[in-house]
A and B are shown apart, each in its own frame.
Chain A
């Protein structure tokens, strides 16, 4: 969703949906700055460097992070930053064509990818340590001397458009649900369009746009470099020196706090039956905020990502009721690292969110599933954790988070994120040490301070959205039946869940859009 689109009131159904007045679902303006957190970006940009050598390790990880992301996409050119980064990483360098670049990396089994997020782009590289001298110049050239071959720009632009029009919209219900929620939370804000771009925004991008954008945002002033793993000496210094030819550039202006104006429900009409559900709200806490460790623990108890039935949402929705494959909750924007359940590194954000993800359910259970998730969130927000639950979750996180920075490339990623968040001490170390002293009352007080279930926005991607909208607007009951006998307490809870008020102020608090209207411009 672009800012320009929102300015054109009524231009599309989604614009109307996201610019709604909000009603009783609550529209709260986030505070101007995150209250207790240190100033952002204290240690990033201006060629800052991180070195985490471990000379005995067999590979070397290298990352170049720029303080640029989809927030820098010009209006009408949504997707420009991600496309530029992809063209840099894949489209060849002054010395190597795209094909030669692939060929050069291949025998080393080296990794080189550009990951664009809302506020950052990271070029993440890794190679066996004996290949450093072959690999490093390639990674550096990707950043300092991209080829900008017109044929590659065209190819990658076309791929980016198809990724939205023919893949995001149709090939993954789960991604569709999550990205719809993002449109809801951030409509009208620099975070408010899909990071990969919009169909029309991408279509309007020219080769000149790409080159100009590279000069504007991939600059010294916005750059940090780092390395980790099997090297000796000051590799980051060499790395930074080699990239010193990039233009100086200016720092990006701060990202303003989001103001969510979406209705309580946005229902996306799509052809297939499995129904995807995501809900969430922005909140003004992040790493470095004194309340954040408590909230990470609290949200873990509610629904740690893919860790089973010791956590509430999974337990109640999947294990007790068999509604779906799982449901989870997140204290900050979550992207899963490929090949694991761990959070991906280098997706930091100035403004964070609390979200709940309910994996696809059968259509006949969709409204019950929405209510069941809301019921759990409301119960958690009101009563907080028990002492036993807190103790268990603390022990879990003390062990589990040890695996977060086990690989060099992730250790480096966390260190770069620490710089983004302006942290003097590493976030993971701070969090682990804080676990030991967290008390029940401060955890539950943090929930009370920061979570307001009435502020949750709810995205549902389904077939038969109009019927669902009618049920939500009328507050229709959504009873569930089971093929097996259930304990009395489950049935009693179901009685409450099936009638749970959905928190809408009126008919306008439920909008319906067709999937093809999303991510268009």
Chain B
């Protein structure tokens, strides 16, 4: 109690931001003395609120050979109970409170959320603080849970898109942990049951208050909820100890790989270029605009590849900021194998046009309008609003960086985009992956058909 009081005295309370930027809601910031950041976003959702606990921990932190997938596995383990509240009790209590709940893990973040009646918030705060501070699971439960992760891997394995993601990371990265997907290499997932001690270490080192943020979006009594957070999270101690993550050395030569798929599928063509990470807000803004300008519905490529020449059925792979330098890429679902060469040539031309500063000002204006309008369209519930802040907060450490990026989007001109493309979208910095039906033998493969 004394500790908690002392901590409460030292809270740094920041004033609410009076004028929201492009992000349509104010973000109220607080921080506990132990480093935990707390963000409140009042939202007109009478009686409802979304509660997120976000760790700036993800598959990026998996430096140990043979232990890929553990950040995500750890997300599963976080539902396995504490001494005070067993797994069953946590589940039954949160469900009795009427809460929708789940969690997700990505390269840079792990986010746990509950969404439902605001009246449940005091109880939710206490339960969530307890499980992240006092997680306590047995090795038997650990082993059983690892099979749920294998099940999660299995559900995606029939998809060539998953094969593209695996292959593109493995080829584009040689050192950095972005080399593996968040779910991890299959051999590591199968070997997860051997990693109990590693998982405990992972928890001790990374699930610390300075690596976490709490985000509350919706209709709530901010003072009361903050007091509950102070009480429950205040005693949480320690600082995250991160292993050194090797930076990816600059790519000097173009890379390309092809994978044969044993069942009839539409061929996939993926290309990506290494680009700066989320701390470079200008680069994030440039990529948010450049992606739709090159590959989105208003682009020349979209019209040419999909509507006019019908070389592709889809273009996907929309840009998403990552904490460290990642990839600016696109994926085409091609009509057939013969479409690959002309589609690649068309992309080359489109990139060359950007580099040459050939940007249609009307399309650029439309793209900027879209980026800003998307913020309005996709903040139509407290949960969806929170997701924006989870990602921007998780990748930069500050959810408010979303506004900073959006302001940069508004200022971008053709020269900025040309300079970005000239610097990064060059062949020597590019990786290409093709997955297409090939003459592979039909053999039952746990790997879903990739040979």
5 further A-B pairs in the complex, CB-CB below 8 A; given A271-B262, A406-B48? A165-B264, A166-B265, A320-B144, A362-B446, A403-B116
CA distance A321 to B150 in the complex (A): 13
Chain B residues in 8 Å Cβ range of A127: 377
Q: Which residues of B101-136 are within 8 A (CB) of A?
A: 101-102, 115-117, 120
Q: Which residues of A contact B152 (CB under 8 A)?
A: 325
Chain B, residues 431-451, CB within 8 Å of chain A (1/0): the string is 000000000001111111100
- Quick check: A174 and B159 within 8 Å, CB to CB? no
Flag whether B37 is at the interface (Cβ < 8 A): no
Contact (A324, B102) CB under 8 Å given A59-B377, A464-B444: no
Say whether B95 contacts A396, CB under 8 Å.
yes
Residues of B within 8 A of A167 (CB): 265-266
Convert A463-486 into 0s and 1s, putting 1 for each residue whose CB lies closer than 8 angstroms to a CB of B: 110000000000000000011110
Q: Do residues A274 and B98 form an inter-chain contact, with CB atoms below 8 A?
A: no
Which 10 interchain pairs have the tightest Cβ spacing? Answer: A399-B98, A322-B147, A325-B151, A324-B151, A109-B373, A107-B369, A274-B154, A322-B144, A484-B140, A463-B444
Known contacts: A106-B298, A271-B262. The answer to whether A319 contacts B95 by CB under 8 A is no
Stretch of A22-30, A245-253, A286-294, A303-311 with 4 or more beta carbons under 8 angstroms from chain B: A303-311
Contacts of A341 in B (CB 8 A): 100, 102
Q: Write the nearest CB–CB distance from B119 to chain A, whole angstroms.
A: 9
Q: Any chain A CB within 8 A of the CB of B158?
A: yes
Stretch at the interface among A2-10, A64-72, A97-105, A422-430: A97-105
Selecting from B243-251, B302-310, B351-359, the interface stretch reads B302-310
A321–B95 contact, CB under 8 A? no
Say yes or no: is A56 at the interface (Cβ < 8 Å to chain B).
Answer: yes
B residues 24-47 in Cβ contact with A at 8 Å? 24, 44-45, 47
In whole angstroms, how far apart are the Cα atoms of A152 and B306 in the complex? 10
A-B contact pairs, 8 of them (CB 8 A): A106-B296, A271-B262, A272-B448, A274-B158, A322-B143, A325-B154, A402-B48, A407-B381
Q: Does B205 contact A (CB under 8 A)?
A: no
| Count, chain A residues at interface, CB 8 A | 80
Binary interface encoding of chain A residues 395-422 relative to chain B, with 1 for a CB under 8 A from any of its CBs, else 0 = 1111110110011110000000000000
B91 contacts which chain A residues (CB < 8 A)? 308-310
B residues 284-300 in Cβ contact with A at 8 Å: 292, 296-298
CB distance from B343 to the nearest CB of A (A): 15
B307 contacts across to A, CB distance below 8 A = 98-99, 152, 155
Contact of B369 among A108, A169, A361 (CB under 8 A): A108
Q: What is the CA–CA distance of A171 and B266 in the complex, to the nearest angstrom?
A: 10
**Is there an interface contact between B377 and A111, defined as CB atoms closer than 8 Å?**
yes
Number of interface residues of B (CB under 8 A): 81
Instruction: Determine the chain B residues whose CB is within 8 A of the CB of A403 once the complex forms.
Output: 48, 100, 115-116, 381, 383
Docked Cα-Cα span, A341 to B102, in Å, equals 9
A58 and B24 contact, CB distance less than 8 A: yes
Query: Which B residue sits closest to A102, measured CB to CB?
Result: B297
Decide yes or no whether A173 CB sits under 8 A from chain B. Answer: yes
B391 adjacent to chain A (CB < 8 Å): no
Q: Give the distance in Å from the alpha carbon of A103 to the alpha carbon of B300 in the complex.
A: 11
Tell me the nearest residue of chain A to B302, going by C-beta. A102
Contact of B96 with A396 in the complex, beta carbons under 8 Å: yes
CA distance A162 to B24 in the complex (A): 41
Given contact pairs A107-B373, A272-B158, A406-B45, A319 touches B264 in the complex (Cβ within 8 A): no
* Shortest distance from the beta carbon of A442 to any chain B beta carbon, whole Å: 21
Cβ of A485: which chain B residues have Cβ within 8 Å of it? 140
Chain B 257-272 residues near chain A, CB threshold 8 A = 262-266
B contact residues around A174 at 8 Å (CB): 155
Docked pose: A409 CA to B298 CA in angstroms: 25
B135-151 Cβ-contact flags toward A at 8 Å (1 or 0): 00001100111111011
| CB <8 Å contact, B116 and A402 | yes
B374 CB contacts on chain A under 8 angstroms: 109
Residue of A nearest to B380 (CB): A407
Query: With the chains together, A110 CA to B298 CA distance in Å?
Result: 13
Indicate with 1 or 0, residue by residue over A52-85, a CB within 8 angstroms of chain B CB atoms. Answer: 0000101100000000000000000000000000
Residue of A nearest to B117 (CB): A399
Q: From residue 393 to 451 of chain B, which have CB atoms closer than 8 A to chain A?
A: 442-449
